[in-house]
A and B are shown apart, each in its own frame.
Chain A
């Protein structure tokens, strides 16, 4: 009987409910699975790009050659994993172009056979071979280096074999301080540049034969355990460059949150649908109980019925997802700007299903417990059937599993906790607002007639104050939906703003300008119509003491480190470039403390120091701290006077540490300057003529660099936008389901009002007032809370600055309001057309 009732009769009798339930589940889960697949693919693609940047699966490097013991430890650690290995040494050195008799700073990259494991070296002609000398394109253009030209590198003279047109490892290196040349590692040793104590980057790169994330993490942990010196750095593809790492982290977190949003919205829909259905079916369930079916058997039957629907949905989903993804992959590739693989690995899609099933089932727990608490025998005698009430702890399994799932999807306890906490807060605030609002309305209408000022409005107000938990639930669902949609759009905007590059970006970044060259160079720039900007001194320094105590780097943990800890480690370097100036650039803002007083530091006090916010946090420094720097053997002391926020993406010369002009001006230094954007010809002319006049000065073509970065940012932005809209679509479908259901529940009330003399127009007005007020208030609250959440999540998770984008608030508000009102009208259509005849006894 049970099987027949739950699987045959019910489904035959209520095809609309089961179809709607299946559709809601399909949308929510398909969204998540789809997003997971796209996310996986995008991450895979970005990871591949990151691999290209690093050129390997993992690199272990230091600013010195690894000690023999360290090299032995590495050999031991990698031994169990079949792998390939090469070494790269990067150093900066002056080289001489013998034909031109010019000397300049270059970055020398010395490589071994098999370099690069990932990515490629594209030459203007011919193929890259590790035993030759190559120069980068920018150096060739600047210096007019041709094939077979002789370059003197240290004590060695080598012939240029070719020009590297594109080095995929250069992509996002940020400011590579000088043009690059490539030569074999064996030749570098002959140059005499590598002497004991020489500094540079000495990296050991590995490619695993059978790469897995687990293996890499194991290796990483082992290295941390065996090599205690924090000067030895482990670099994985995802953090091969700060920017790439940041983009990937941002993207991963954002996509995970988006996926979760789609899922939550659909689960709200599932809860709502099942609640309506169970209420409608309560009489029959009570009858079943009367005929001998225990409550436990009824609940088991419902679980079995739901599980059946769920797995049918999953099968349908898998059957749909493969061909759909094959069709969509090229489209997504176009939109994302990332070439996606059309292959879907069913197994990877399947990993999400147990989580989805668990969560979907847990959302039904309060309903099933409510059913267990229903006095079924008494129900048949009652004039109106009602289910047992939910209790708060009924939702605990769902809440707990949602928290776990948040952390699982965002791959971070911090992100998961923050997101989950924010959701709880939104939930509590929405409940408070809806209950408070109802109380206020109740007071307003107390003792008054129905004409407020119209009868439609009067009835609507009563509906709003007396619909009880159904209204609260609708309000919550709508407010949560609006919150999440607003959150997506706000975060998207904040990330876009963060990644947006200044249109007044510099064209050239000029560095290594000697003090005596400043004046002639500035004059020269003026003469050719390209005046220099942001001329800034740069001094190499090392933080030695804090408050007269030797600065000690925090010890790192040698086991598992989260993304956040890795970031910490990256930032916590005590060797850095500092500058002195008495003003702030457009890209700086003091967030605590005071600006430097004008006129520089007097002799009777220590000079003031300004610190960049994130660096000060990572180094545990705060206002009032006395810092002692070592500047080429001379101690320099100062007091932290303020903390600054710096927008690094402006590409202006900015520093972690800025010192008040004082005796530091006498320290050995070079200068940085930028050439603002202007005609390309002027830039080229300036570059060429400056190289001739000042051969030691180096240039970075910021436009080219920014172009590469912009490309990546645009790809990331597009990926985020696509996912935002996917979640938005899921949210809107659920909102439609909710409003349709709410209006449908009123069918008999509406038919009755019609029998009493309400015209269809007046009924529609009544619905519009009631649901319009509900939608608008929930929407307004949701959009505000979404904005608030975006600020918190953006600041805490993505390190973004606060912002208000009215467009991103008003646009979804307008769109959602119109959609919701259209939804009310559309879903009220049938109810308004209902014939009151159906109220009669034999109908």
Chain B
């Protein structure tokens, strides 16, 4: 499903240059849930950004479902992401001027999917927020916002879902409930999950854990 070969990424120039990823090789199987753990600054989010096509690697190759995304243009990447990937952020990141329902509707209508409104409603119901569908992000709690973000991320039934510390901004109970929901939705749809976390307990819920330290996989 996803294959990463000799991925390198550095920031800065000259003496200030920091090599964040030092030749990562990785293979992710379809339907797998993969936890990417490591300390702050280990390169977890950088790797996630490259895998999700949010950033470009210096060298190396990334293949997703046979498509070499590492050589795609930004336009092609944007298009690919819209069709095949979902992302859940730590800060929720809902579009501030759209309601909960509209946030879920956004990726569906972007792809002009049939029955988008019905799908979005069902998704909101499945995350237990049908009663909050017309509320703006500013009117939702952190847990509710993250549940909307998850519904949005899975709306297009992506082949692969990336989650960046999804419970990092939530209290423990809410975080647990949100993660439960995430794993359930992934399991229900058979979506591949790449989860970035520093929480060992959370990582253990995934089918595979990989450790990243100083830009290399252990």
Contacts and interface: CB of A to CB of B under 8 A. Distances in A.
A and B held together in a complex: yes
Interface of A: 383-384, 386, 449-451, 455, 458-459, 462-463, 466-467, 748-749, 752-760, 835-837, 839-843
B81 A839 contact: no
B45 A755 contact: no
A754 B105 CA distance: 15
A758 B106 CA distance: 10
A837 B97 CA distance: 21
A384 B96 CA distance: 11
Contacts of B81: 755-757
A759 B109 CA distance: 14
A387 to B, nearest CB: 13
Contacts of B94: 752
Contacts of A758: 78, 82, 110
B138 A384 contact: yes
Contacts of B87: 755-756
Given A835-B55, A840-B45, A449 B105 contact: yes
A283 to B, nearest CB: 13
B145 interface: yes
A841 B55 contact: no
Contacts of B74: 760
B119 to A, nearest CB: 11
A194 to B, nearest CB: 85
A837 B116 contact: no
A835 B53 CA distance: 10
Nearest to A762: B110
Contacts of A840: 45, 48-49, 54, 89-90, 164
A760 to B, nearest CB: 8
Interface of B: 40-41, 44-46, 48-49, 52, 54-55, 74-75, 78-79, 81-83, 87, 89-98, 102, 105-107, 109-112, 116-117, 136-138, 141-142, 145, 152, 164-165, 168-169, 196
A749 B95 contact: yes
A756 B105 CA distance: 11
A449 B89 contact: no
Contacts of A757: 78-79, 81-83, 107, 110-111
Given A449-B116, A842-B45, A756 B82 contact: yes
Given A756-B110, A757-B81, A841-B164, 12 more contacts: A450-B98, A450-B106, A466-B136, A753-B95, A756-B106, A758-B78, A758-B82, A840-B45, A840-B48, A840-B54, A841-B91, A842-B45
15 contacts: A449-B109, A449-B117, A450-B105, A455-B109, A455-B110, A462-B97, A466-B97, A749-B95, A752-B93, A756-B107, A758-B110, A839-B91, A842-B41, A842-B44, A842-B45
A757 B110 CA distance: 8
Given A449-B117, A758-B110, A837-B55, A752 B95 contact: yes
A455 B90 CA distance: 26
Nearest to B143: A383
B107 A837 contact: no
Contacts of B41: 842
Contact of A459 (B45, B48, B52, B98): B98
Contact of B90 (A463, A759, A841): A841
Contacts of A466: 97, 136
B98 A451 contact: no
Contacts of A451: 109, 112
Contacts of A450: 98, 102, 105-106, 109
Nearest to A463: B97
A636 B79 CA distance: 93
A758 B52 CA distance: 15
A758 B111 CA distance: 10
B78 A759 contact: yes
Contacts of B52: 755
Contacts of A754: 78
Contacts of A837: 49, 54-55
Nearest to A745: B96
A841 B168 contact: yes
A450 B104 CA distance: 11
Contacts of B164: 840-841
Contacts of B141: 383
Nearest to B141: A383
Nearest to B142: A383
Nearest to B90: A841
Nearest to B52: A755
A723 to B, nearest CB: 40
A755 B169 CA distance: 20
Contacts of A459: 95, 97-98, 106
A839 B55 contact: no
B93 A839 contact: yes
Contacts of B117: 449
Contacts of A458: 109
Contacts of B152: 756
A462 B98 contact: yes
B93 A748 contact: yes
B147 to A, nearest CB: 13
Contacts of A386: 138
Q: Which of A449, A753, A757, A843 has the most CB of B within 10 A?
A: A757
A368 to B, nearest CB: 23
- The listed residue with most A CB atoms (<10 A of its CB), out of B48, B97, B105, B106, is B97
Contacts of A756: 81-82, 87, 106-107, 110, 152
Contacts of B44: 842
B95 A842 contact: no
B54 A755 contact: yes
Nearest to A448: B117
Contacts of A384: 137-138
A749 B45 contact: no
Contacts of B112: 451
B125 to A, nearest CB: 17
A752 B149 CA distance: 11
Given A756-B106, A757-B79, A759-B78, A841 B54 contact: no
Nearest to A841: B90
A832 to B, nearest CB: 11
A565 to B, nearest CB: 55
Contacts of A836: 54
A841 B74 CA distance: 22
Nearest to A750: B95
A455 B141 CA distance: 27
A840 B90 CA distance: 7
Contacts of B45: 840-843
A831 to B, nearest CB: 14
Contacts of B90: 840-841
A842 B96 CA distance: 22
A837 B152 CA distance: 18
A35 to B, nearest CB: 40
Nearest to A384: B138
Contacts of B96: 749
A843 B98 CA distance: 24
Contacts of B54: 755, 835-837, 839-840
Nearest to A763: B78
Contacts of B111: 757
A748 B52 CA distance: 17
A842 B78 contact: no
A253 to B, nearest CB: 44
B78 A839 contact: no
A678 to B, nearest CB: 69
Contacts of A755: 52, 54, 81, 87
Contacts of B110: 455, 756-758
B148 to A, nearest CB: 12
Contacts of A839: 54, 89, 91, 93
Nearest to A843: B45
Contacts of B169: 383
Contacts of B92: 383
B166 to A, nearest CB: 10
Contacts of A835: 54-55
Contacts of B91: 839, 841
